[in-house]
């Protein structure tokens, strides 16, 4: 059956200006890091994407290596663009990235001009797109001059393959250097995607200040710390969880007794706020106006809908913030 988007989709969520740009993004964006690959179920991820757009989520975030296998998330997204979203292309912000290992040999990862431009070309082909709205350098390259990586991003914009550029996983100093180069080239950075959650607070060590001062948006990924900031780990490590399987990015030794006791205490505050722990964790990131949107994942529609409810209560009073800081230490 042909997909027709909900007419009231833009009444469902608020949008925030991305830094000093003309772009506004939904307060929650959908990442296709997991659950959209070749090993996943087509009708399930199709339902997730349709529901997200029906709820006003206009930003879908990908990368060349998302899957598994690498590249399959972009291929699947391309299929759905053709089947469901072709008529809505101009209502969407679609992003991709290059930086991690994608193909064998010396030109298949990091930040060389060769890799960045070839990778963008491959991503566009997989997704069946003429351009992406945002193209990111996925991680800084210690062996390639910053001028080369940023110059490649600038070239993609000048070639019409990307409208904007972004950075991901760059620390405060690296970001400052990259922003200065991009500004000089005439392609200012739109957005930065750092790992940021209640349990991983590195961006507070200067990065958020750099972004705020330079008018660059911020889109935290892993806001639920790979699922730790959900009700799943309140009673230890379930066997069917990511940590239980220890097959992905979350290993069993990361879920310590201390972490679980923090999660339990945070859960109590969330309950008093009338939220799930996951909803509070997302809302907590949105309390900072330098954060444009929070990037969530979803393995099923119900999970997506639960996360979207985070925007219903974004206000924290002083005692709640104090309580949270006391727990996080």
pTM of the model: 0.94
> How far, in Å, CA of 257 to CA of 151, rounded?
46
pLDDT at 36 (0 to 100)? 98
Q: In 3-state terms, the chain is what percent helix, strand and coil (to 5)?
A: 45, 15, 40
Contact (CB, 8 A) for 116 and 108: no
Where are the chain's structural domains?
13-225+288-313
Tally of CA atoms within 13 A in the half-sphere of 221 that contains its CB: 19
Contact (CB, 8 A) for 67 and 33: no
13-225+288-313 placed in CATH 3.20.20.100: yes
pLDDT single digits (tens) 56-83: 999 999 999 999 999 999 999 999 999 9
> How far, in Å, CA of 175 to CA of 193, rounded?
11
Helices and strands: H and E segment counts in the chain: 11, 10
Which residues on adjacent β-strands are paired with residue 26? 15
Q: Give residue 121's region: left, alpha or beta (phi > 0; psi -120 to 50).
A: alpha
DSSP 82: I
> How far, in Å, CA of 109 to CA of 100, rounded?
5
pLDDT single digits (tens) 82-121: 999 999 999 999 999 999 999 999 999 999 999 999 999 9
3-state secondary structure of 217: strand
């Amino acid at each position: 059956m042909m997909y027709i988007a909900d007419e009231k989709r833009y009444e469902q969520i608020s949008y925030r200006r991305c830094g000093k740009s003309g772009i506004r993004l939904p307060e929650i964006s959908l990442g296709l890091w997991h659950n959209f690959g070749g090993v996943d179920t087509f009708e399930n991820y199709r339902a997730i994407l349709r529901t997200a757009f029906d709820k006003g989520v206009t930003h879908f975030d990908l990368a060349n290596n998302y899957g598994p296998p690498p590249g399959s998330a972009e291929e699947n997204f391309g299929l759905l663009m053709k089947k469901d979203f072709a008529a809505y292309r101009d209502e969407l912000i679609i992003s991709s990235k290059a930086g991690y290992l994608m193909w064998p040999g010396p030109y298949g990862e990091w930040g060389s001009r060769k890799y960045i431009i070839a990778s963008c070309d491959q991503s566009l082909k997989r997704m069946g797109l003429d351009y992406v709205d945002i193209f990111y350098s996925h991680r800084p390259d210690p062996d390639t001059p910053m001028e080369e990586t940023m110059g490649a991003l600038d070239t993609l914009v000048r070639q019409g393959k990307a409208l904007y550029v972004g950075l991901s996983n760059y620390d405060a100093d690296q970001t400052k250097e990259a922003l200065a180069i991009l500004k000089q080239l005439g392609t200012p950075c739109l957005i930065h995607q750092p790992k940021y959650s209640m349990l991983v607070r590195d961006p507070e060590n200067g990065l958020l200040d750099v972004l705020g001062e330079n008018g660059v948006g911020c889109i935290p990924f892993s806001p639920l710390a790979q699922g730790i900031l959900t009700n799943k780990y309140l009673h230890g490590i379930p066997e069917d969880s990511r940590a239980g399987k220890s097959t992905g990015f979350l290993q069993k030794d990361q879920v310590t007794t201390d972490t679980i006791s923090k999660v339990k205490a945070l859960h109590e505050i969330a309950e008093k706020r009338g939220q799930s722990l996951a909803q509070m964790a997302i809302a907590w990131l949105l309390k900072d106006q330098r954060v444009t949107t929070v990037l969530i994942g979803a393995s099923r529609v119900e999970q997506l809908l639960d996360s979207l409810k985070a925007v219903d209560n974004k206000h924290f009073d002083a005692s709640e913030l104090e309580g949270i800081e006391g727990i996080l230490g």
